[in-house]
Amino acid sequence: MCINTKGNTSGSINPRYYFISSSSSSKTLKWRLFNTHSSTMTDAMPPSKFEDADETIEEAAAATSNMEEDSAMCEPHDSSTDKTSADYYFDSYSHFGIHEEMLKDVVRTKTYQNVIYKNKFLFKDKIVLDVGAGTGILSLFCAKAGAKHVYAIECSQMADMAQEIVKANGFSNVITVLKGKVEEIDLPVPQVDIIISEWMGYFLLYENMLNTVLYARDKWLVSDGIVLPDNATLHLTAIEDSEYKEDKIEFWKNVYGFDMSCIRKQSMMEPLVDTVDQNQIVTNCQLLKSMNISKMTSGDASFTAPFKLVAERDDYIHALVAYFDVAFTVCHKMTGFSTGPRSKNTHWKQTVLYLEDVLTICQGEFVVGTMTVTQNKKNPRDIDITLKYSLNGRRCNVSRTQEYKMR
């Protein structure tokens, strides 16, 4: 079963609402922090009363208008209702809740801190560019480690807070916060020695912030400069997940006696961001793609990779699971972290892709195939995934192609 660490069942990545919520804990997609607001509200509600089920149309309408008010409250600097998903992307980073969640991800933040504090030789007297600074935490680490100057670019309203934080901590002479998009900003210096960024999204590539890092690298990094982190890898494994597949996918086949299978089709196409228990793993974990952030081009983030997943025991396979690792290879001691199911949980969890068929697999048999990952043409922050797989086993013979969309 996929255990949702947040204790709610809304692990789907497709948001419906962009309400603000005082609780950040039910975030589903990193840049769409507030999409599970309704479940948050439910969590906070007193025990249900029978009257709730008989809510009148007027009451429902009133509730909706309250929600619209909430929605407006989260956009203090722009009351326009005609927003694009790009606007929502940056808006979601304006609220402290998403930064709180990232900062409290100790695996993530401590790794960056260790990389910087334990490798001061890299930073001493260097010009650093922090791409997507958020609260400015990475810039503060770098300044404390002896950087000569840090340019912290942040496009959301959080840039104002970063500015205040820098001042409050006495680093105004070392850190310059620049509010704006990396792609549009005028950097006061022609070149930087180090680019540091925490750009990783769900499934590594969701959000497509990697493009922004590569843009900054090509524009400002000195020829022998370094990018931190400089290596990212995507991995794949297969899991037994009958209970959760039943709950999230097969549910639609019979809803209070009605066939809603058309929704099942949609739910199959949406990768689920959730925490997988390592005991669910049935096969080996296979490296799908390795990216050298110092050298790669943005085109390298779209690819087709083969895989071979060998069963380590007799079991059923309901889903494939993707996760990523990042590494800082220029450190004195190689440093990094994994978001895999065998590692300590991070806020990225894992990405679960349910299979149409339940595969019955015997130890030593394997699922082979390819995974194609491409940026969505309409919205490059979204990802399209094509999975081709086959199993030629004693109990099961399957060959299929499935499409997924991370939205």
Whichever of 212 and 286 has its CB closer to ligand SAH, that residue is: 212
Are 353 and 387 in contact by the 8 Å Cβ rule? The answer is yes
- The answer to the question of residue 181 lying near ligand SAH (CB under 6 A) is yes
| H/E segment holding residue 317 | strand 315-328
Q: Pick from 75, 154, 241, 325 the residue near ligand SAH by CB under 6 A.
A: 154
Whichever of 192 and 239 has its CB closer to ligand SAH, that residue is: 192
- The answer to the question of residue 96 lying near ligand SAH (CB under 6 A) is no
Residue 306 dihedral angles phi and psi, to the nearest 5°:
-80, 155
* Residue with the shortest CB distance to ligand SAH: 132
Q: Select from 17-25, 77-85, 96-104, 166-174 the region that touches ligand SAH (CB under 6 A).
A: 96-104
- The answer to the question of residue 326 lying near ligand SAH (CB under 6 A) is no
Whichever of 196 and 276 has its CB closer to ligand SAH, that residue is: 196
Its sign, for the CA torsion 249, 253, 254, 260, is positive
Q: Select from 19-27, 95-103, 115-123, 244-252 the region that touches ligand SAH (CB under 6 A).
A: 95-103
Its sign, for the CA torsion 112, 113, 118, 124, is positive
The C-alpha atoms of residue 145 and residue 173 are separated, in whole angstroms, by 14
Q: Select from 98-106, 114-122, 377-385, 392-400 the region that touches ligand SAH (CB under 6 A).
A: 98-106
Are 280 and 342 in contact by the 8 Å Cβ rule? The answer is no
CA torsion 37→270→266→11, rounded to 10°?
Answer: -30
- The answer to the question of residue 388 lying near ligand SAH (CB under 6 A) is no
Q: Pick from 20, 158, 249, 291 the residue near ligand SAH by CB under 6 A.
A: 158
Are 402 and 268 in contact by the 8 Å Cβ rule? The answer is yes
Task: Cite the DSSP H helix spans in 28-156.
Answer: 37-44, 57-73, 85-92, 96-104, 106-117, 120-123, 137-144
> Among all residues, which ones are annotated catalytic?
198, 207
Q: Select from 3-11, 150-158, 286-294, 309-317 the region that touches ligand SAH (CB under 6 A).
A: 150-158
- The answer to the question of residue 271 lying near ligand SAH (CB under 6 A) is no
Task: Give residues in contact with ligand SAH (CB under 6 A).
Answer: 90, 93, 99, 102-103, 132-135, 137-138, 153-156, 158, 181-183, 198, 209, 212
